[in-house]
Amino acid sequence: MNLQIRYTTTFNYPKTVRDSHNVLKACPTSNAAQTLESYDLAIDPPARVFSYVDYWGTRVDSFGIFEPHEQLTIVATSHVVTHPAPSIDLSIDVARYAEPDYRVEYRAYLDPTRHTEWTPPLAELARDTVHGVEDANGAATRLMEAVRDRLSYAPGSTYVGMELAQVLENGQGVCQDYAHAHIALARSVGIPARYVSGYLYAADQSLGSTPDEAEIDVETHAWVEIHIPGWGWQPFDPTNGTPVAESHVKIGHGRDYDDVAPLRGVYHGPEDHELGVSVRISREELAGRQSQQ
């Protein structure tokens, strides 16, 4: 797919603020599944941007606004071409997850974090779910299905920082919760898993259906990558219960949401403010390809 993505965040303050320092992670990456053709960042009031790649491989745009202002607008525009995902070797034995050297290498994606802390009952569920499964891809798929059996998609039902055990007890969540639950289940049985932040070109974030419209308004999305020994990182979308496809655009990955939060910042001024976030994605025909009537 040939996708144009426009990510916009606007802060409106009741009084003048100053010394605003912000860290943005909205730029798609390039990998085997997608190619970043262009990226542009516009900030109002204007600011000098310092860009770098963080420890996890995600592009970071850092900027500060020192002058007094009552509004801050950030617009990140990107052009991405996505490609069909490569087929995966389904015969890789789960026994490889127990190899000591392997566990040391992927330790960062095996330990619990504040968003992926698992309880004894959750670990027991994971063990029961993968019992008898011999291949790594099958184990990851079973764990994804276990998450979907216990959560229903409900926007606004959770908040950042809500404990995973509480989310599962309530039985409702959003894409971040589905991803954290899948990661926790996988790590509890020794399977490396990482959190992915990105965009999804879909009519409904919980259904993953490709829209009829060429241009739609969506939200940022989250999914999971499971490491398959000898193969690499394989993406799964637990919110939709499907493999990650050409409609998914990856920004970056980390141990959990905190490593790839789209925007963080501090400023000097009143605590209250109005926040507006929007993501608009448009699909265009690739050069040299004609539309079919």
Q: Tens of pLDDT along 214-228?
A: 788 899 999 999 999
**Model pLDDT, residue 50:** 98
**Model pLDDT, residue 271:** 87
Domain 94-258 has CATH 3.30.360.10: no
**Model pLDDT, residue 274:** 93
* Residue 286 in this model has a pLDDT that exceeds 70: no
CATH code for the structural domain at 2-83+262-284? 2.60.40.2250
pLDDT tens digits, 44-79: 999 999 999 999 999 999 999 999 999 999 999 999
Q: Tell me the one-letter amino acid at 219.
A: E
**Model pLDDT, residue 291:** 36
**Alpha carbons 251 and 246: distance in angstroms, whole number:** 14
Which pLDDT band, with edges at 50, 70 and 90, does 293 fall under?
very low
Which pLDDT band, with edges at 50, 70 and 90, does 262 fall under?
very high
pLDDT tens digits, 244-254: 999 999 999 99
Where are the chain's structural domains? 2-83+262-284, 94-258
C-alpha closest to that of 195 among 53, 57, 98, 37: 57
Answer yes or no: are the C-beta atoms of 254 and 193 closer than 8 Å: no
Q: What's CA 103's distance to the chain center, in Å? A: 24
**Model pLDDT, residue 288:** 52
- Residues belonging to the chain: 293
**Alpha carbons 43 and 56: distance in angstroms, whole number:** 25
Give the residue-averaged pLDDT of 158-167.
Answer: 90
Which pTM does this prediction carry?
Answer: 0.92
pLDDT tens digits, 106-135: 999 999 999 999 999 999 999 999 999 999
Read off the tokens for 221: 């999305």
